[in-house]
Amino acid sequence: MLKPLGDRIVLEQIETEETTASGIVLPDSAKEKPQEGKIVAVGAGRVTDNGERVALELKEGDSVIFSKYAGTEVKYEGKDYLILRESDILAVIG
Amino acid sequence: MLKPLGDRIVLEQIETEETTASGIVLPDSAKEKPQEGKIVAVGAGRVTDNGERVALELKEGDSVIFSKYAGTEVKYEGKDYLILRESDILAVIG
Amino acid sequence: MLKPLGDRIVLEQIETEETTASGIVLPDSAKEKPQEGKIVAVGAGRVTDNGERVALELKEGDSVIFSKYAGTEVKYEGKDYLILRESDILAVIG
Amino acid sequence: MLKPLGDRIVLEQIETEETTASGIVLPDSAKEKPQEGKIVAVGAGRVTDNGERVALELKEGDSVIFSKYAGTEVKYEGKDYLILRESDILAVIG
Amino acid sequence: MLKPLGDRIVLEQIETEETTASGIVLPDSAKEKPQEGKIVAVGAGRVTDNGERVALELKEGDSVIFSKYAGTEVKYEGKDYLILRESDILAVIG
Amino acid sequence: MLKPLGDRIVLEQIETEETTASGIVLPDSAKEKPQEGKIVAVGAGRVTDNGERVALELKEGDSVIFSKYAGTEVKYEGKDYLILRESDILAVIG
Amino acid sequence: MLKPLGDRIVLEQIETEETTASGIVLPDSAKEKPQEGKIVAVGAGRVTDNGERVALELKEGDSVIFSKYAGTEVKYEGKDYLILRESDILAVIG
């Protein structure tokens, strides 16, 4: 299992196939919108200057929209994950 | 539903058709003023260094003026939204 | 009405016609000094890291001098306004 | 009257004519040392993250040395002033 | 022994041999994913603005994934170590 | 007298003539080490975000080593001084 | 004696002669690893925004590994020292 540190989360990207009006599937480089993912693990939260830990708003299982290009890709036990900071998550879907 | 995180908000842009004195409708690239939008969802607020969460000043339904170029465009269930931080909102109209 | 957020203010610029010794009216690009304006609305103030809101020093009706180039121009109900942060205001006249 | 905001001050520059050993008066561009000024008004002070206002060390009437290039020149009722932050003042003379 | 300061940690990199489908071992320059390591020592933690020391989340023996390029390589008693800040660690494996 | 503000100090540079092995006096541009000075005045200290003033560690009369290039040169009553922040002082000699 | 200010320390660099397998002594420019040093003096510590002084973790006599290129070289009474901030020290050896 991957346990992220601080205000980081681990998520799986959700591939969203994209088809144009004429039925052409767009290659990755032609898509410019943020991506969707599912949270698989969350960190314990960042520590403020008062020494208090702030729990994350997100929890395991949340579907989220995140900034493309954010985070670091990690391959773990044959699967691809993305590790980001909670601040790179734009919104929860649900 | 899209639930924004922290001090973020989700809004729908309001298209404001613009016509010159001679009746010509200006294309988008010729307009340089900030944009108008309607808030559809607000986050729970940012957490200060004291560990307190600061509720947003904005609420669902507010009409706002925001900085052009701010935020990230998101398409969700066929509709276009913009996700911004409250600090990108200049003023509430009303 | 435009209600600015946080430590922002809305002001109307005061046009100050400028004439040279020989009576020539200077075009805008030849003037390089800060501008004058009248406050029409002020925000509720910024929130400190202690979670307290700090009221603005400025109030509606104040005549102020502000940094040229600061702020964002907004057209609202046919009139031009400028939205700035209080920190862009140099001094109150009066 | 000009009332500066926050930790800003208003001062009048003191022109210090400079003469070389051979009696030549140096033009402005040849002088590279900090400038002298007299404080004509001080702001109420900045507000810390604890919500407390910190009064300025400077007061009206102080003669000061300040960083050349700092601040904004303002013409008010026919006289030239300079508006700076207290942090741009290097020292008080006296 | 190497005792890291503040929020720093010392780790040993774990070499992960990589083989392509056709059995070719990839040279280092062709791998672009984050690296794995084992923590051998942790610092006492950073001191917040309240003067409190925040203990690290990591402990000796943890296997971690860290940002490639982060940290400083140190050779000590013939062995290679990497010294990083805890914030350069993405996740704990376990 | 020059009274520096906040965490600033006023010092006199101590000229340290430098002679090479062969007796050649090095010109200024050939020296690259930090400079020595004697403190002639210290400010009241900076104010923290808690509104408390932190007295300087340095006091009048201290001989110090400071970062070359730091600070601003000031000529006052025919003598040259340097005004720096305490953080530009590397160490006290004594 | 050199008494460093705030969170600064004074150290003596330890020259570590380096010899290649074939017995060639490497010139300085060919070494790219962090350097070793011995602490000869430590400052009183930095002051937090709460006005509290945070004592250094390091003490006189500690052998440390530090970031190459960090700090300022100082020659004092014929000996060479390096003045750095504690944050430039990577680890204590011992």
pLDDT tens digits for range D43-88? 999 988 778 899 999 999 999 999 877 889 888 888 999 999 999 9
Portion 62-81 of E in contact with A at CB < 8 A: 65, 67
pLDDT for B58: 96
CA pair distance E65, E62, nearest whole angstrom: 10
> Cβ distance E54 to E48 under 8 Å?
yes
Strand partners, E67: none
Q: Which of G45, G30, G37, G28 is CA-nearest to residue G66?
A: G37
> For residue C36, is pLDDT > 80?
yes
Q: What tens-digit pLDDT sequence spans chain B (94 residues)?
A: 899 999 999 999 987 666 666 666 655 554 455 689 999 999 999 988 778 899 999 999 999 999 877 889 888 888 999 999 999 999 999 8
Instruction: Taking residues E74-87, report their average pLDDT.
Output: 91
> Cβ distance A11 to A37 under 8 Å?
yes
Q: Which CATH number fits domain F8-17+25-93: 3.40.50.1820, 2.30.33.40, 3.40.50.2300, 3.40.50.10420?
A: 2.30.33.40
> For residue C31, is pLDDT > 50?
no
> For residue C66, is pLDDT > 70?
yes
CA dihedral over F57, F60, F64, F70, signed as positive or negative: positive
**pLDDT tens digits for range F76-90:** 888 999 999 999 999
Q: Which CATH number fits domain B8-15+32-93: 3.50.50.60, 3.55.50.30, 3.40.50.720, 2.30.33.40?
A: 2.30.33.40
CA dihedral over E42, E43, E48, E51, signed as positive or negative: positive
| Look-up of token digits 């102020």 | C64
First to last CA, chain C: 26
CA pair distance D89, F45, nearest whole angstrom: 14
Domain spans, chain E = 8-16+33-93
Q: Per-residue confidence at E44, pLDDT binned at 50, 70, 90?
A: very high
Where residue A16 falls (left for φ over 0; alpha for ψ -120 to 50; beta otherwise) is beta
Would the CB atoms of D54 and F51 count as touching at under 8 Å? yes
CA dihedral over D17, D23, D29, D32, signed as positive or negative: negative
Set of chain G residues whose Cβ sits within 8 Å of the Cβ of F87? 5-6
CA C47 to chain D, closest CA, distance in angstroms equals: 9
Report the b/e string of F10-44 with b at 16+ CB within 10 A.
bbeeeeeeeeeeeeeeeeeeeeeebbbbebbbbbb
Residues, chain B: 94
CA A69 to chain centre: 11
Q: Scanning every residue of chain B, which has its alpha carbon at the shortest distance from the alpha carbon of A48?
A: B49
Q: Scanning every residue of chain E, which has its alpha carbon at the shortest distance from the alpha carbon of G63?
A: E2
Q: Scanning every residue of chain F, which has its alpha carbon at the shortest distance from the alpha carbon of D89?
A: F5
pLDDT for A37: 95
- Architecture per CATH, G8-16+33-93: Roll (2.30)
Q: Which CATH number fits domain C8-14+34-93: 2.40.30.60, 3.30.1490.190, 3.30.930.10, 2.30.33.40?
A: 2.30.33.40
> For residue G30, is pLDDT > 50?
no
Residue C5 is nearest to which of B49, B50, B92, comparing CB atoms? Answer: B92
Using alpha carbons only, what angle is made at residue A12 by residues A11 and A18, rounded to the nearest 5 degrees? 130
CA E54 to chain A, closest CA, distance in angstroms equals: 7
Would the CB atoms of A65 and B2 count as touching at under 8 Å? yes
Would the CB atoms of D34 and F76 count as touching at under 8 Å? no
pLDDT for A17: 60
Q: Per-residue confidence at D25, pLDDT binned at 50, 70, 90?
A: low
**pLDDT tens digits for range E7-43:** 999 999 987 656 666 666 655 554 455 689 999 999 9
- Exposed, middle or buried by CB within 10 Å (0-12, 13-18, 19+), for B33? middle
> For residue G31, is pLDDT > 90?
no
CATH class of D8-93: mainly beta
Residue F91 is nearest to which of G4, G48, G73, comparing CB atoms? Answer: G4
> Cβ distance E10 to E2 under 8 Å?
yes
CA pair distance G94, G62, nearest whole angstrom: 8
**pLDDT tens digits for range G40-75:** 999 999 988 778 899 999 999 999 999 877 889 888
CA F22 to chain D, closest CA, distance in angstroms equals: 36
> For residue F63, is pLDDT > 70?
yes
Residue G47 is nearest to which of F34, F54, F58, comparing CB atoms? Answer: F54
Within a 13 Å sphere around the CA of A84, how many CA atoms are in the beta-carbon half? 25
Set of chain A residues whose Cβ sits within 8 Å of the Cβ of B10? 91
> Cβ distance A54 to A48 under 8 Å?
yes
**pLDDT tens digits for range A70-84:** 889 888 888 999 999
User: In chain A, which residues have pLDDT < 70?
Assistant: 16-34
CA C91 to chain D, closest CA, distance in angstroms equals: 4
Would the CB atoms of B72 and A34 count as touching at under 8 Å? yes
Set of chain C residues whose Cβ sits within 8 Å of the Cβ of B67? 72
Q: What are phi and psi of G16, to 5 degrees?
A: -115, 100
pLDDT for E29: 52
First to last CA, chain F: 26
ipTM of the complex: 0.78
Fold of A8-16+32-93: 10 Kd Chaperonin, Protein Cpn10; Chain O (2.30.33)
Q: Which of B19, A10, F51, G26 is CA-nearest to residue E34?
A: A10
Would the CB atoms of A86 and B5 count as touching at under 8 Å? yes
